[in-house]
Structure 1
Amino acid sequence: MVDSALARPHTTVVLAMSADGKIADVRRSPARFGSAADKAHLEKQVAQADAVLFGAGTLRAYGTTLRVSHPELLEMRSQQGKPAQPVQIVCSRSGEFDPNLRFFTQPVPRWLLTITLGAKAWQERAEFERILIAEAPEAPEQTLDWEQAFQQLATLGIQRLAVLGGGELVGSLMALDLIDELWLTVCPLILGGAIAPSPVQGLGFSAESAPRLELLSAEANGPEVFLHYRLQR
């Protein structure tokens, strides 16, 4: 549902991580260490969303996005009056990524969330159905205004938003209190590395100001653990 007070979508982060809290290795390789059960879980979360948001780094790493393909999930969306696929939203200040990525041939609706500078290369092209510009007034050429962006999404009918990474994006949204829930899959491997990305990056929080979570569920499925949290407010 849209948060009427803040006029923004209900936002859920969905990530798989290693047992030591890394979402990719030190080379920032695509994180494909989750099991088939984790992929099914991810698809379920995507199917429940009106839109999926991810950063340009995530797009560059994978080159594709996860489509809803399971018949039951497609039927669920149909019964809810939703299109077969949620909107896939790439956020990038620069707008610099390869138009030959397979993502741009996948049968999904694609939007770009950017600033004026990042929009220039795509405005006369067909890859994105919609280009959203959300700039901080004090630094329009450098900064995405996330509160403005989320208000635009709500106005466009996005009620439920799934955020699939990366850590810098999640960190930015967490710092502005724009996240409502987290689904974290803990996978049975250790990646280590001081520069390997974690679920929440950016400047971080002090222990006193850190966001607090309420555990909604914890389920072990084979060697993985699925954790569902809600942000305490």
Structure 2
Amino acid sequence: MTTNSDFNRPQTTVVLAMSADGKISDVQSSPAGFGSPNDKAHLEQQVAEADAIIFGANTLRSGGTAMRVVNPELLKQRESLGKPPQPIQIVCSRGGNIDPELKFFEQPIPRWLLTTSTGASYWQEGSKFEKILVFDTPEGEIDWVTALEELKKLGLQHLGVLGGGQLIASLLEANLIDEFWLTVCPLIFGGTTAPTPVAGAGFSTEMAPRLELLSVKTIDQEVFLHYRLQRQ
């Protein structure tokens, strides 16, 4: 992950695995698990480099757990940098409707909730979440710009964004994504409703975010693509 001192917010890096036809899950939105051990090691490396991991409530509901750092070398790496063993896990949910019985709430990880006033009404700080961050727009959506500025003030320099498509779309629309790591896996999901890396209303050709390819790496049957967002 690279840094940019001009940003008054954390550096943001999306990390996703997708099928060869650009799907991040099948039509049943099954938990992501189709990547190889190489991809899982790559994901853990990116998680280990982050101060916090941010993901949408649907992504949490699908998998039920957080992506933790378990590799001893990566744990030592974090320790050498003065970081806690695990990055903060930040769930984003406008409505706050998250099952408190998910295994996620039993994991030994720091948990924050980023939500609206409506979503916060379902939770009390200190019960399941160590911190509840509330950022409302007048329309009742999450104010992403203010939210990320506050995360920077709280000491977070790097955010790993692990999906889903709606969260990534919201961050892209607000010009808050810096880099993408996309692993292309050798399978085809198909399906009109199968989720893709970026959901939302979409972008026209003229307005589509442009990417700069930083690196391409092939390991066995998977391709690891590293992009940086081009700033207009």
Q: TM-score, normalised by structure 2?
A: 0.96
Please report how far the alpha carbon of residue 124 of structure 1 lies from its aligned counterpart in structure 2 after TM superposition. 5.5
Please report how far the alpha carbon of residue 5 of structure 1 lies from its aligned counterpart in structure 2 after TM superposition. 4.1
1:83 aligns with 2:84: yes
* Structure 1, 65-74 or 115-124: larger mean CA deviation: 115-124
Structure 1 segment 1-233 matched on structure 2, within 5 A: 3-123=4-124, 126-136=127-137, 138-139=138-139, 142-233=140-231
Please report how far the alpha carbon of residue 123 of structure 1 lies from its aligned counterpart in structure 2 after TM superposition. 1.2
CA distance in 2, matches of 1:166, 1:3: 25
* Code of the aligned partner of 1:151: E
- Helix, strand or coil: the match of 1:216? strand
* Code of the aligned partner of 2:134: I
From the superposition, tell whether residues 3 and 144 of structure 1 become closer, same or farther in structure 2 (CA, over 3 Å): farther
- Helix, strand or coil: the match of 1:169? helix
* 5+ residue gaps, structure 2: none
1:46-100 per-position Cα deviation (integer Å, ceiling 9, x unaligned) = 0000000000000000000111010110001001000000000000011111111
CA distance in 1, matches of 2:112, 2:133: 7
Superposition RMSD on alpha carbons, in Å? 1.2
Aligned length: 230
CA distance in 2, matches of 1:78, 1:115: 34
Q: TM-score, normalised by structure 1?
A: 0.96
8 Å contact kept, 1:63–1:101: yes
Percent identity reads: 62
Please report how far the alpha carbon of residue 120 of structure 1 lies from its aligned counterpart in structure 2 after TM superposition. 1.2
8 Å contact kept, 2:125–2:131: no
CA distance in 1, matches of 2:58, 2:209: 25
CA distance in 2, matches of 1:40, 1:3: 26
* 5+ residue gaps, structure 1: none
8 Å contact kept, 1:90–1:112: yes
- After TM superposition, where is structure 1 displaced by more than 6 Å over at least 4 residues in a row? none
8 Å contact kept, 1:12–1:179: yes
Please report how far the alpha carbon of residue 2 of structure 1 lies from its aligned counterpart in structure 2 after TM superposition. 6.6
- Helix, strand or coil: the match of 1:154? helix
8 Å contact kept, 1:2–1:8: no
CA distance in 1, matches of 2:3, 2:117: 27
CA distance in 2, matches of 1:76, 1:91: 27
8 Å contact kept, 2:53–2:89: yes
CA distance in 1, matches of 2:32, 2:73: 26
- Helix, strand or coil: the match of 1:45? helix
Please report how far the alpha carbon of residue 4 of structure 1 lies from its aligned counterpart in structure 2 after TM superposition. 4.8
Please report how far the alpha carbon of residue 31 of structure 1 lies from its aligned counterpart in structure 2 after TM superposition. 1.5
